[in-house]
Amino acid sequence: MSDASILSDTDRTTGRDALRKNIQAALALSGAIRSTLGPRGLDKLLIDDTGRTLTTNDGVTVLETAKVEHPVAKMLINASSVQDKIARDGTTTTVLISAEMLNNAWHLVTQGVHPSMIARGYRMAEEFCRTELPTFTIDAAKEDLLVATKTALAGKSHEAMRAHLARISVEAAEIIIDTRSGVTIADPTRVKVLSQSGGVVTDSQLVTGLVLAKKRILEAMPKKIGAGKVLLINGGIERRSMASEMKLKVTSPGILQSFRDKEIEMLMQQVKHLQSLGVTLLACKEGIDDDIRSALNEAGIQAFRRVAREDLDLLARGCGATLLYDVKGATASDLGVFIESRNEMWNGVAHWIVDTEEGGATFIARGSTTDVLGEVERCFADALGVACQLLEEPLLLAGGGATQVALARKLRRYAETIPGREQLAVEAFADALEIIPRVLAENAGLDPINTLLEVVASQSNANDDVSHHFGLDVNTRSPANMIENGVLEPLRITRQAISGATEAAVSILRIDDVLWAKADATAPDLPDMD
């Protein structure tokens, strides 16, 4: 039976033509961010439908902000997003390697190699790389932490900003580090980011503790209190409104007042309950009734209201408190502890600062414009993520494309041991890894082929122990020992980039049928393949 009538409202592309168009989409996407890679990478100006602009050098920000309709391009964007979530860096690298894998696979397909064999060869090459990568690593000393974090910011803004943010990121990571059962954990979500317009980037600072743009509910409350107990409420301490519509018939003037007195009495009971628990600090997501503010102050409780839920979560984690929905059900086990709570005025704005025993910090981002402020926040997030993962897994690789070239050289020798057509796929995988030094050279104004050959020659002529340290130094515009020059990358970034790129490439290679619903979507125009 023919499927023509069933698929009458669908555009269908099958076989080699479907693969060709999918690879075209991947190449078009990688071409959009190709020029952002490396210290000499350029920025992208993004303009949305309302005319708002965004200037950034971050590959994943470009991809996630741009409107992309092609499903294959979205698969690569997802791979880049996962890379950003896990490693905080290497997002552009993931897309470039994956697209180059697909481009090389296309050349093999035109020579008669089946896509499933190419996919099998790519899996073999990925597993080989995962095995070999640990042999290239060096242990990260404390001074290497700052160097590697600064490398992650290469190409973003100016040197002063990169050095300043790298230093702050390392300090923040060391504040939030935690070791439990012999396992080191550095959770970057425990660092709050607070943006303040004005000043220059180097005015950005790190404050120990959680900082909120909040002021205490009553000026008479002390500005600073020492160590004590804190209660966090995911609600408020207010008069309750009627649950349903009803009418009350008031027969005497005292009845209405008795209602009000009873409401205040119920609120005062909650204040007494707080006092009996020994609470000295109170934070509520919603409001606190005006009639009990003085009572809270007399009970020695510093109180804050309208605190965002995410800030309450951070406080709960830092203080070891349980987030409750009302005061009446609070017990001693629900309370948390803090070291100090104080109020300070910054540029005319009241800020609340809480130091906790479980650590925590706040990054105060400063910038002269909104665009600069946004880029500072993105750079800090990337640098902090890199610093945290290095504390968790202190292993480093040489940057500047050195690791990719070393892996490619070993892969080609490994391919010689494979008797089937998968050998061609392993060699294609090796060629794809070399896209990184080639694009680095291209963005630095160098000849990509000559530069790659020079790096390969440098590794071949060096001792085996340090051969994988030689990559492209864009400052000297020549191959150099990247470990000695301080161009370092965390192992997790390279490992995840190779895994993510391979997964995306193999998934796309396995697609041989694309169906476009005419009513819902139309296939976008794609550039011709070279």
65 CB-near residues (< 8 Å, 6+ apart): 46, 48, 54
Using a 10 angstrom Cβ sphere, with 0-12 exposed, 13-18 middle and 19 or more buried, the burial of residue 512 is: middle
SS3 of 139-185: ECCHHHHHHHHHHHCCCCCCHHHHHHHHHHHHHHHHHHEEEECCEEE
Tell me which residues are annotated as active site.
Answer: 58, 91-92, 382
Written as six digits, the tokens of 83 are: 């890379």
Round the CA-based radius of gyration of the chain to a whole number and report it: 29
Rounded distance, CA 59 to CA 277, Å? 51
Alpha carbons 420 and 416: distance in angstroms, whole number: 10
* Phi, psi for residue 456 in degrees, rounded to 5: -60, -45
Say how many C-beta atoms besides its own lie within 10 A of residue 500's C-beta. Answer: 26
Closest CA to 326 of 280, 286, 272, 281: 286
Could you give the angle at the alpha carbon of 218 between the alpha carbons of 214 and 221, nearest 5°? 100
Give 208's strand partners.
Answer: 361
Query: Which residues, 6+ apart, have CB-to-CB distance to 287 below 8 Å?
Result: 236, 237, 238, 305, 306
**Gap between the terminal Cα atoms of the chain:** 39
Q: What is residue 78's DSSP assignment?
A: H
Give me the sheet containing 205-208, strands edge to edge.
Answer: 191-197, 361-367, 205-208
Q: How far apart are CA 171 and CA 399, in angstroms?
A: 23
Q: With beta carbons less than 8 A apart as the criterion, state whether 437 and 446 touch.
A: no
* CA 299/CA 275 separation, integer angstroms: 6
Long-range contacts of 407-413 (CB under 8 A, 24+ apart): 407/129, 407/132, 407/133, 407/136, 407/433, 408/433, 408/434, 409/456, 409/459, 409/460, 410/128, 410/132, 411/125, 411/128, 411/129
Q: Which of 367, 325, 402, 359 is nearest to 138 (CA)?
A: 402
Nearest-angstrom CA–CA distance, 376 and 374: 5
CB atoms within 10 A of CB 477: 14
Cβ count within 10 A of residue 341: 26
